[in-house]
Amino acid sequence: MSVYLIADIKVTDDGWVPEYATNVHTLVEKHGGKYLSRSGNIETLEGAEKDSTLIAILEFPNREALDSFAADPDYAPFGQARQAGSVSNFHVIDDTDIAGTIPYLKAG
């Protein structure tokens, strides 16, 4: 079952960004994941405006692959730099439909 990591980030000190942007996608790929988007073009259609700098959506083949990426010692310095230079909210969702009415999604 695929899982998706939604990273909602407000950069507070951009010193970490170049190294993170250059290197982390290869670590994501190492664990079977891929970026679906990593964008600063954020438009609020409904609800309160966010002061996010960027939102990234990553897909992993399963939760184990995501956890393996997050625990990778090679990722640790990048994650620590991001945490020190941003307010980050990470959410994980799966590929299910809670109502079970969308035929191309598994009922969840």
Residues in the chain: 108
CA distance 73 to 10: 24
Domain segments of the chain as ranges: 3-43+50-107
Pick the closest to residue 5 from 53, 73, 69, 76 (CA basis): 69
Instruction: Note the pLDDT tens digit of each residue in 72-84.
Output: 999 999 999 999 9
Tokens of 75: 């990722």
* CATH number, domain 3-43+50-107: 3.30.70.100
CA distance 61 to 51: 30
For the question of whether the overall pTM of this predicted structure is more than 0.75, the answer is: yes
Pick the closest to residue 39 from 7, 13, 15, 14 (CA basis): 7
Instruction: Note the pLDDT tens digit of each residue in 44-96.
Output: 999 999 999 999 999 999 999 999 999 999 999 999 999 999 999 999 999 99
First-last CA distance in the chain: 11
Amino acid at the residue 34: K
